[in-house]
Amino acid sequence: MTQMASMQSTICIFSLFLTLHFLSPSLANAYSSTPTSPDTICDSTPFPFFCKSLLPNNQSSTIYDYGRFSIHHSLERTSNFLSLVNGFLRLKYGLSQPTIRALEDCQFLIGLNIDFLSSTIQSIGSTNILQSSQAEDTHTLLSAIMTNHQTCSDGLQATTPSSSIQNALLTPFYDGNKLYSVSLALFRHGYVPQTGKGRWLAQRESVFSKNGHLGLKMSSQEDRKVYESVSGRKVLQTSVGGGNVKVSEMVTVSKDGSGNFSTISDAVAAAPNKTDGSNGYFMIYVVGGVYEEYVSIAKNKQYLMMVGDGINKTVITGNRSVIDGWTTFNSATFAVVGQGFVAVNITIRNTAGAVKHQAVALRNGADQSTFYDCSFEGYQDTLYAHSLRQFYRQCDIYGTVDFIFGNAAVVFQNCNMYPRLPMQGQFNAITAQGRTDINQNTGTSIQNCSITAAPDLATSNGTTQTFLGRPWKQYSRTVYMQSFMDSLIDPAGWIAWSGDFALNTSYYAEYNNRGPGSSTASRVTWLGYHVITATDAINFTVSNFISGDDWLSATGVSYTAGLT
């Protein structure tokens, strides 16, 4: 992610109108199954004029019919956009390596969008009724489509400014963005319930034991013996949550050749493709050691569980950076897309250093993914919570500028955040959330975490300012609740990105935090900043914000469902 934002016009009054209009609880009920003119329907979207030019105007239909039409049209446009990108990649002559990499990112991201749109079409079919979990899943996919599209654009803008490629892709990009936004708005107003969900003030401790070990249900006694012998830990038979984590198969990675594989990537390649998790996780046990490799969990490698020997014992490390010609997206040491991924007891590093600017340790675009007792180490852009639904528990995150960023729906719970010493003249911003559309169900929720200075910052005797976050995109959304903030946090709390960009349209909130840096007395006075009550904070809990009750139990990771 770059330090500069592309400015967007016509923000304040119109955006505030949209905010109020879209959050109206009566909107979905008003449109429901009643035939309505395109003009009326389109007025509820962020791009009414584009919407009216898109929808058939010679008849009245229901919001469901309009939504299906728009999503089908989105799939057609996306396929055409992919063909255009593929054409540029076939003609690589004269293109710089960073430009080629940005186009390859687009190729990958657009491919995901085709999958997501196809899945959406299959889900809604001809039905006007979805179960709440189905509606949430589809809402998540449509939100991720916009994120993928924006990521493609960001990469191209950073690597090919004022180029023929930019000019050729400009119109398809902006039209695609409007089309996805209209599709998302129509779906949300038609299918997504406007009422709260989940249990209030609930807590759940799942299938980790009191001493923090996984309860595993192994597929064979042989697997159990292997696990116990290589890890030195006993696999528990009972658990607080009343069940065990189901494991279908286990392999071991060891650098000395004593395991099934000597590299993590080879173990990932051996995992089965396109599993649904019903038979349990494919477990990769990574023996302690430093693994200098770039690991990628592809979209067809689903329900993998990777377990190491502990933070700073099992270490995966790389040093790619934007300065060295990589895009932010593909600078990651560890990248995961496969649904249902779980990682436990692992450190992931990017050692490029502060002078190399954007350099990602983890990039996560895996739906319903979980990281427990892991550490992420970098400087600028350490943890890229890119898209979809994610959960982090008891993790350590080190960085400087925007070191937790992206546009996932993500909850960090009981984690430690360690701002480090940045380059001279830089400030620290813990978060840079990337929500671009008011209808996306994304944001960063930080609950019961601890923010203290990393050792290099604590002993620097300098004047580095550290902020809770800044608005990377128009509708940036970040909430800190029930967390400890040490004195390193600047009294203003938050810092602008560029001028008044997104200060009125973002949503930044704090609830019941503690520590010397938690006072809200001198916080920013932006329209988008709020000190909230439990009534609002409950919306950003595991149960409500990422529907964690539906999927976290299977991971074996303990979690608090509501407020504590």
Domains of the chain, CATH where assigned: 38-191 (1.20.140.40), 400-556 (2.160.20.10)
Q: What mean pLDDT comes out for the span 312-325?
A: 97
3-state secondary structure of 234: coil
What is the spatial distance between Cα 237 and Cα 36, in angstroms, rounded to a whole number? 58
> Virtual CA dihedral for 122, 128, 133, 139, nearest 10 degrees?
70
Q: What mean pLDDT comes out for the span 421-436?
A: 97
The number of angstroms, rounded, from the C-alpha of 71 to the middle of its chain's C-alpha atoms is 23
Angle at 271 between CA 267 and CA 276, to 5 degrees: 150
Q: Which of 47-61, 171-185, 494-508, 512-526 is predicted with the least confidence, judged by mean pLDDT? A: 47-61
Q: What mean pLDDT comes out for the span 344-353?
A: 98
Q: What mean pLDDT comes out for the span 480-484?
A: 98
Q: Say what the pTM is.
A: 0.90
Are the CB atoms for 497 and 472 separated by under 8 Å? yes
Sheet holding 375-377, edge to edge: 289-292, 314-318, 347-350, 375-377, 396-399, 416-419, 450-451, 484-485
Own/partner pairs for 5-8, CB < 8 Å, 24+ apart?
5/472, 5/473, 5/497, 5/498, 5/501, 6/157, 7/498, 7/499, 7/501, 8/474, 8/501
Cα end-to-end span (Å), the chain: 34
In the prediction, which pLDDT does 60 show? 76
In the prediction, which pLDDT does 480 show? 98
- pLDDT over threshold 60, residue 238: no
Q: Which two tokens stand for residue 543?
A: 């149960």
Q: Which of 284, 408, 406 is nearest to 346 (CA)?
A: 284
Are the CB atoms for 282 and 320 separated by under 8 Å? no
What is the spatial distance between Cα 148 and Cα 161, in angstroms, rounded to a whole number? 20
AA letter at 383: L
Q: What mean pLDDT comes out for the span 104-125?
A: 97
- pLDDT over threshold 70, residue 214: no
- pLDDT over threshold 70, residue 502: yes
In the prediction, which pLDDT does 215 show? 56
Q: What secondary structure letter does DSSP report for 482?
A: S
Compute φ and ψ for 424, nearest 5 degrees. -60, 135
* Residue with token string 């813990």: 430
Q: What is the pLDDT of residues 396-417, one digit of tens each?
A: 999 999 999 999 999 999 999 9
> Virtual CA dihedral for 19, 20, 26, 28, nearest 10 degrees?
-20
Q: What does the radius of gyration of the chain's CA atoms come to, in whole angstroms?
A: 23
In the prediction, which pLDDT does 217 show? 54
Percent of all residues in the chain with a pLDDT value above 70, rounded to a whole number: 85
Is 266 catalytic? The answer is no
In the prediction, which pLDDT does 239 show? 29
Q: What mean pLDDT comes out for the span 91-116?
A: 93
- pLDDT over threshold 60, residue 209: no
Q: What secondary structure letter does DSSP report for 235?
A: P
At 392, the pLDDT band (50, 70, 90 cuts) reads: very high
In the prediction, which pLDDT does 57 show? 79
- pLDDT over threshold 80, residue 10: no
In the prediction, which pLDDT does 13 show? 29
Q: How many helices (H) and strands (E) does the chain have?
A: 13, 27
Are the CB atoms for 233 and 210 separated by under 8 Å? no
Q: Which of 207-216, 366-375, 429-438 is predicted with the least confidence, judged by mean pLDDT? A: 207-216
In the prediction, which pLDDT does 304 show? 98
| The one catalytic residue among 223, 309, 402, 437 | 402
Q: What mean pLDDT comes out for the span 308-334?
A: 97
* Residue with token string 């990537």: 265
Q: Count Cβ atoms below 10 Å from residue 526 Cβ, excluding itself.
A: 17
In the prediction, which pLDDT does 530 show? 98
In the prediction, which pLDDT does 242 show? 34
What is the spatial distance between Cα 346 and Cα 249, in angstroms, rounded to a whole number? 20
Q: What mean pLDDT comes out for the span 134-163?
A: 92
- pLDDT over threshold 70, residue 203: no
In the prediction, which pLDDT does 1 show? 59
Are the CB atoms for 475 and 440 separated by under 8 Å? yes
Are the CB atoms for 338 and 358 separated by under 8 Å? no
Q: Which two tokens stand for residue 277?
A: 């998790």
Sheet holding 295-297, edge to edge: 295-297, 334-336, 362-364, 383-385, 401-406, 428-433, 466-469
**How confident is the prediction for the chain on average, in pLDDT?**
87
